[in-house]
């Protein structure tokens, strides 16, 4: 085996990112379709009631702490899901097999940046 | 006879650069993985939505106008298609992995998938209600 | 009673003479009940005695005769020629393994991986003989039975692109067998195996392509075994963080 330098040690970070990936997959699988239809299609198509996305109404809705927690989970977990899959896609499908640690750090790093940004924006509202 | 101790030459076939183009199952796999890009993309859209909201009414209206553009709507439709494929494959995969036992018997896979699909419908209805009616 | 002929294109590789494998075409008498292995044996007996390949039980239980048949990993004793005839049948050595000669590949990497995961009952303390056997209920056997059906044929490795790209990956069969023992009520080696499978080239390398389970002739479903292993390692890891005391083996 190519790696034999003493007994192999399990990687501490992989279970953590895999759990985030799984959770993010579930959140996006079950919640994104409705949000995409509402925000991305129904609004432009004029299917929503006139004041559904009015500034006052949405601000009021989002300022509720429960909404903020929901939105945090809704945005952040799928970011880690995408980061995890893109990380392996870069290695296996794009065949970038060198610098595995740098690629992984860049992918999860981008998700962490998104997390921090989400937190900051939610606190501002 | 690992590589270090081998006393004879062996032939190692090279892997094609784009190995995943070769078979239909591999192509389907790559499309499945690509849906994660659209998942990440929509997270960003949500984030931009909140950012506009945090900047005040004018910025918010500007974002809603941006959402109105035909090009953006097309992107959202593609995103929806990708995310629905992500949902379908996630339900397929999760139903294989997760064993659910009820009363000492394992729930058959197609029932599990039906239940999860039901969950999707319920979740979507709840999201719609909370976003539009409340 | 021969019903015409069938054409096989077989990969040949003689390390002392060839830099790369080539294909040789053989036309042999055909019977409707022939499998690819029968054809290889006919070629070796009547046409070219130098053709080299592995086989044993010819009934799908020994795992020796795995090869690529028309680009897919199959047990040659279980593939009927009538599936492809009248088109020529292409036979190549098992993919992603180094080729030693003709259709024979070097499987030592797999054997090392298999040993690594400790595919046997691990006990802290053995029961004494006077205490009798370790008893199991039918339900306890059912829990791991599916994963015990592996015949080590390595078709799953030939189907796995991750293994193809990185032969350090422990791979489907080894992980499925580790999972089989983790599920065995007599076994106490779960923690050891979690540590072994939790390395970079263990369960985490898998991206659930799922082709391993498609290729498996014994319906072991290694893909599911691997994902359940990931879930097990992850939840154990989470539990140890949230509740660092005790813990079952």
* pLDDT over 70 (residue B128): yes
Assign A2 a pLDDT band (cuts: 50, 70, 90). very low
Q: Where are the alpha helices (DSSP H) in chain A?
A: 13-35, 43-45, 55-63, 65-92, 100-124
**Residue C56: predicted pLDDT:** 97
**Which among B9, B23, B24, B95 is the top mutation candidate for probing chain C, defined by the most C β-carbons within 10 Å of its own β-carbon?**
B9
Mean pLDDT along residues C37-63? 97
Nearest in space to A59 (alpha carbons), one of C244, B49, C10, B3: B49
User: Is C108-242 in CATH node 1.10.1060.10?
Assistant: yes
**pLDDT band (50, 70, 90) for residue C48:** very high
> How does pLDDT run across A52-102, given as a tens digit for each residue?
899 999 999 999 999 999 999 999 999 999 999 999 999 999 999 888 999
Burial status of residue A125 (CB atoms within 10 A of its CB: 0-12, 13-18, 19 or more): middle
Which residue from B minimizes the CA distance to A59? B53
List the structure tokens of A108: 């999860």
Asked if C198 lies within 8 A of A92 by C-beta distance, the reply is no
Query: Mean pLDDT over residues A10-37, rounded?
Result: 95
DSSP H or E stretch at residue C70: none
Which structure tokens are listed for B110?
Answer: 């197609």
Query: C108-164: per-residue pLDDT in tens?
Result: 999 999 999 999 999 999 989 999 999 999 999 999 999 999 999 999 999 999 999
Q: Which fold has domain C5-105?
A: Ubiquitin-like (UB roll) (3.10.20)
What does the pLDDT look like over C173-188, one tens digit per residue? 999 999 999 999 999 9
Residue of C197, C228, C230, C238 to mutate when probing chain A, most A C-beta within 10 A: C230
Domain residue ranges in chain A: 13-124
> What proportion of chain C, given as a percentage, has pLDDT over 70?
97
Q: Which CATH class is domain A13-124?
A: mainly alpha
Give this prediction's pTM. 0.93
A9 touches chain C (CB under 8 A): yes
The mean-pLDDT minimum among B49-53, B130-134, C90-94, C123-127 falls in B130-134
**pLDDT > 60? residue C5:** yes
Q: CB contact, 8 Å: A23 with chain B?
A: no
pLDDT score for C246:
57
State which residue of chain C sits closest to A98, comparing Cα positions. C166
The tally of CA atoms less than 13 A away on the side-chain side of residue B87 is: 23
Domain spans, chain C:
5-105, 108-242
Q: Is the pLDDT of residue C22 over 60?
A: yes
Spelled out in words, what is the top-level CATH class assigned to the domain B35-98? mainly alpha
Output the pLDDT for position B1.
43
- Each domain of chain B, given as residue ranges in start order, spans 35-98
Name which of B3, B13, B97 is nearest C228 (Cβ-Cβ): B97
């Amino acid at each position: 085996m190519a790696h034999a330098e003493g007994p192999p040690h399990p990687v501490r970070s992989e279970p953590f990112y895999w759990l985030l990936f799984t959770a993010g997959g579930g959140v996006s699988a079950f919640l994104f379709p409705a949000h995409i239809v509402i925000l991305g299609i129904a609004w432009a198509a004029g299917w929503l009631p006139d004041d559904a996305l009015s500034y006052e109404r949405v601000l009021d809705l989002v300022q509720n702490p429960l909404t903020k927690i929901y939105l945090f989970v809704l945005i952040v977990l799928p970011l880690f899901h995408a980061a995890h899959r893109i990380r392996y896609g870069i290695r296996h499908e794009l065949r970038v097999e060198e610098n595995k640690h740098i690629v992984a750090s860049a992918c999860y790093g981008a998700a962490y940046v998104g997390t921090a940004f989400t937190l900051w924006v939610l606190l501002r509202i | 006879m690992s590589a270090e101790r081998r006393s004879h030459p062996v032939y190692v076939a090279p892997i094609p650069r784009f190995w995943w183009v070769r078979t239909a199952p591999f192509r389907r796999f790559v499309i499945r993985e690509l849906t994660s890009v659209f998942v990440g993309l929509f997270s960003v859209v949500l984030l931009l939505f909140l950012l506009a909201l945090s900047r005040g009414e004018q910025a918010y209206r500007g974002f809603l106008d941006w959402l109105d553009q035909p090009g953006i709507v097309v992107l959202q439709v593609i995103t929806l298609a990708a995310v629905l494929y992500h949902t379908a494959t996630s339900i397929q995969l999760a139903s294989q992995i997760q064993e659910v036992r009820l009363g000492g018997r394992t729930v058959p896979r197609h029932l599990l998938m039906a239940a999860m699909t039901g969950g999707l419908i319920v979740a979507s209805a709840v999201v719609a209600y909370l976003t539009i009616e409340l | 009673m021969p019903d015409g002929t069938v054409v096989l294109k077989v990969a040949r590789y003689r390390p002392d003479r060839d830099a790369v494998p080539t294909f040789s075409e053989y036309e042999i008498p055909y019977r409707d009940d022939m499998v690819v292995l029968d054809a290889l044996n006919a070629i070796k007996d009547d046409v070219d005695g130098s053709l080299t390949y592995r086989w044993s039980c010819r009934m799908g239980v020994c795992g020796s005769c795995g090869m690529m048949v028309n680009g897919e990993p199959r047990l040659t004793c279980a593939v009927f020629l009538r599936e492809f005839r009248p088109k020529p049948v292409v036979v190549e050595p098992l993919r992603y393994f180094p080729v030693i000669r003709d259709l024979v590949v070097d499987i030592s990497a797999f054997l090392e991986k298999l040993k690594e995961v400790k595919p046997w009952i691990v006990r802290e303390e053995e029961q004494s003989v006077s205490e009798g056997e370790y008893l199991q209920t039918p339900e306890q056997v059912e829990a791991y039975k599916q994963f015990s059906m592996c015949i080590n044929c390595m078709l799953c490795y030939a189907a796995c692109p991750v293994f193809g790209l990185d032969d350090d990956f422990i791979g489907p069969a080894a992980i499925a067998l580790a999972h089989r023992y983790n599920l065995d009520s007599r076994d106490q080696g779960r923690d050891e195996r979690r540590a072994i499978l939790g390395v970079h080239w263990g369960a985490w390398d898998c991206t659930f392509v799922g082709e391993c389970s498609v290729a498996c002739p014994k319906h072991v479903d290694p893909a599911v075994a691997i994902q359940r292993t990931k879930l097990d390692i992850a939840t154990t890891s989470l539990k140890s963080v949230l509740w660092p005391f005790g813990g079952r083996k």
